[in-house]
Amino acid sequence: MRAEDILPLLPEGIESWGTLAQRLGFTPRELELSLFQLSASGYPVLISERGAGLPFGTPAPQILFPLLKGRFGRPYQYLGVVSSTQDVLRTWSEATVGAVVLAERQTRGRGRFGRVWESPPGNLYFSVLLENSADPLLPLRAGLALLAAAGVGKLKWPNDLLAPDGRKLAGILVEAEGDRVFLGVGINVNVAPLPNSAALKEFSQVNRAQILAEFLWALERWLEEKKEAVLYAWSEQNVTLGRRILVRTGQEILEGEAIGLGERGELLIRTKKGVHAVYAGDVTLLGTADDVKDPKVGEGEA
Ligand code: BTN
């Protein structure tokens, strides 16, 4: 048996060496070796004198699957260390709509606008396969799902989840290729990797498997909601509208007041030169924690 094969058989919490070895048909020594191998591959295995297992809320399939409420989350790949879950999903030929790739750590996690997404162990890094229905509201729908899963914070256009003090809790990267969309989600659950980022555990008790299951279920539902409901819910839960902001689009930097959302989820900004509609861009909220940052690192990046 390969070390990876015993991963789905490990319990949530510690099980004694004797019971575990007997259940898996290993000698305690063989078992210990496999567990060390899993740990070296990036999986959060608990190994103690009493026994071994997985920390509570580990998003391993045997812990995640009973929590899933819809069809998203299957098929599922639970991995240790990868370059980026986006790339693993892209090359996974058996993946169907709702398939998820999750890794405990990424060596080349990427964020919006070509930024690096710091991916230390303890957080959630995953990608969901969606069909490309060219829905301009997809980023807002995904942001609403993020908020539902986190249970705390507000949304900065289009879908950054910010803590009440403006630090970044989570972000979403939407990449499309032909008829497929790769929705990449990074949630700082236990670790805030940068000074201007926050971790969910600062605000509530956290369980990674539960947060992932909630996100997938909320996403499935928000994808089906009417446009009006999405625009209304997003407007109710955001920290962008009515604020003085700076927006970097690919072409220009605009400064002004965020005055509304258009029908296609675009941000309307009133600048000295008039009202502009921005369809894709990076927003900085001026005069807040979001504004105080190292420009080399990038706003709200985590
Ligand atoms: C952002 O810039 O706010 C978006 C961050 C998205 C990060 C996630 S982590 C899982 C997936 N894999 C990646 O390389 N990026 C996304």
Q: What is the pLDDT of residues 145-204, one digit of tens each?
A: 999 999 999 999 999 999 999 999 999 999 999 999 999 999 999 999 999 999 999 999
Task: Pick the residue whose CA is nearest to atom 2 on ligand 1.
Answer: 111
Mean pLDDT, the chain, whole residue set: 93
Whether the CB-CB separation of 261 and 267 falls below 8 Å is answered with yes
pTM: 0.94
Which protein residues touch ligand 1 with a CB less than 6 Å away? 84-86, 106, 109-112, 115, 117, 125-127, 160, 171-173, 184-186
Least Cα distance to 298 among 54, 110, 56, 123 occurs for: 110
Residue 291 burial (CB count, 10 A): 15
| Per-residue model confidence (pLDDT) at position 14 | 97
Cα pseudo-dihedral 250, 251, 255, 258, rounded to 10: -60
Task: Pick the residue whose CA is nearest to atom 15 on ligand 1.
Answer: 110
Q: What is the pLDDT of residues 237-295, one digit of tens each?
A: 999 999 999 999 988 999 999 999 999 999 999 999 999 999 999 999 997 556 545 43
Whether the CB-CB separation of 18 and 52 falls below 8 Å is answered with no
Least Cα distance to 56 among 48, 44, 40 occurs for: 44
Q: What is the pLDDT of residues 32-66, one digit of tens each?
A: 999 999 999 999 999 999 999 999 999 999 999 99
Count Cα atoms within 13 angstroms, Cβ side, for 235: 17
Q: Which of 125, 187, 216 to mutate to test the pocket of ligand 1 (most atoms within 8 A of CB)?
A: 125
Preceding amide of 121 cis, omega within 30 = no
Expressed in angstroms and rounded, the spacing between residue 300 Cα and the centre of ligand 1 is 13
